[in-house]
Amino acid sequence: MKIVRYIVDGKTEYGILDGERVQSLAGDPFQKLEKLERYHKLGDVKLLAPCVPSKIVAIGLNYHSHAKEVGQPVPKEPMMFFKPSTSVIGPEDKIVNPGCQRLDYEAELGVVIGKRASKVAKAEALNYVLGYTCFNDVTARDWQAQDSQWSRAKGSDTFAPIGPCIETELDAGNVLVEAYLNGERKQQANTSDLIFSVPELVSYISQVITLLPGDVIATGTPAGIGPMKSGDVIEIKVAGIGTLRNHIA
């Protein structure tokens, strides 16, 4: 099932995406999933980020291929940082360069938390996941190198494109994650190359940070990171979920 969030006739609602059609949901699927007998054409709605996270917990250096690319050893524990809720944008929205020299894309699998998770065991972790989405961990690469904290390098406005939907049925341990810049493939990896799996990440993070419904874990990017410039179109594709497309302002 593909859950979307959108504006239609000036109102924001959640729905289920079915091909070119969206079926409205009553209220908030994080509380209770109730389908209505009301449908919209996909072309008639403006898709938004499919969830409203209180926070995004992102993981650095979580693919063997990317650790190799940047010449870093494989980390012994997940390396976490935050992206603020204010950095979130939706499909087709514009990514705005806040004034850095190098603005990078990072294709990632996003994990969407379905219920409050605190001190969760690895074996129970997937019970706290509602589904998965495409995530672009937009990064000001020069600021990341320059600053000891990554707040502006990773947390500037528009630096967290999420979407287009939350897929609730996906084998997160074996999916293809790709980035296309102006139609040209730049990143391609299978999540089987992840250093820390989704259950390991949910469990590890929740030992010290309570995850709330709608929160997103950005699971890290594979090899092939690179810069974007004004006018570019960046697409993050995760097999089984869809394509998250954004434009560089």
3-state per-residue secondary structure call for the chain: CEEEEEEECCEEEEEEEECCEEEEECCCCCCCCCEEEEEEEHHHCEEECCCCCCCEEEEECCEHHHHHHCCCCCCCCCEEEEECHHHEECCCCEECCCCCCCEEECEEEEEEECCCECCCCHHHHHHHEEEEEEEECCEEHHHHHHCCCCHHHHHCCCCEEEEEEEECCCCCCCCEEEEEECCEEEEEEEHHHECCCHHHHHHHHHCCCCECCCCEEECCCCCCCEEECCCCEEEEEECCCEEEEEEEC
Query: Among residue numbers 130 through 149, which ones bind Mg ion (CB under 5 A)?
Result: 137
Please say which residue, 45 or 134, places its beta carbon nearer to Mg ion: 134
Please say which residue, 139 or 206, places its beta carbon nearer to Mg ion: 139
* In the complex, least distance from residue 154 CB atom to Mg ion, rounded to whole angstroms: 8
* In the complex, least distance from residue 224 CB atom to Mg ion, rounded to whole angstroms: 12
Planar angle of CA 109, 220, 62, nearest 5 degrees? 125
Q: Considering only the stretches 1-9, 104-112, 227-235, 240-248, report the one whose residues sit in contact with Mg ion under the rule CB under 5 A.
A: 104-112
Please say which residue, 137 or 235, places its beta carbon nearer to Mg ion: 137
Please say which residue, 168 or 197, places its beta carbon nearer to Mg ion: 197
Contact code string over 217-246 relative to Mg ion, x by CB under 5 A: ----x-------------------------
Contact code string over 193-222 relative to Mg ion, x by CB under 5 A: ----------------------------x-
Can residue 106 be called a binding residue for Mg ion (CB under 5 A)?
yes
Please say which residue, 15 or 110, places its beta carbon nearer to Mg ion: 110
Number of residues that bind Mg ion (CB under 5 A): 3
Please say which residue, 30 or 63, places its beta carbon nearer to Mg ion: 63
* In the complex, least distance from residue 244 CB atom to Mg ion, rounded to whole angstroms: 14
User: Which residues make up the interface to Mg ion (CB under 5 A)?
Assistant: 106, 137, 221
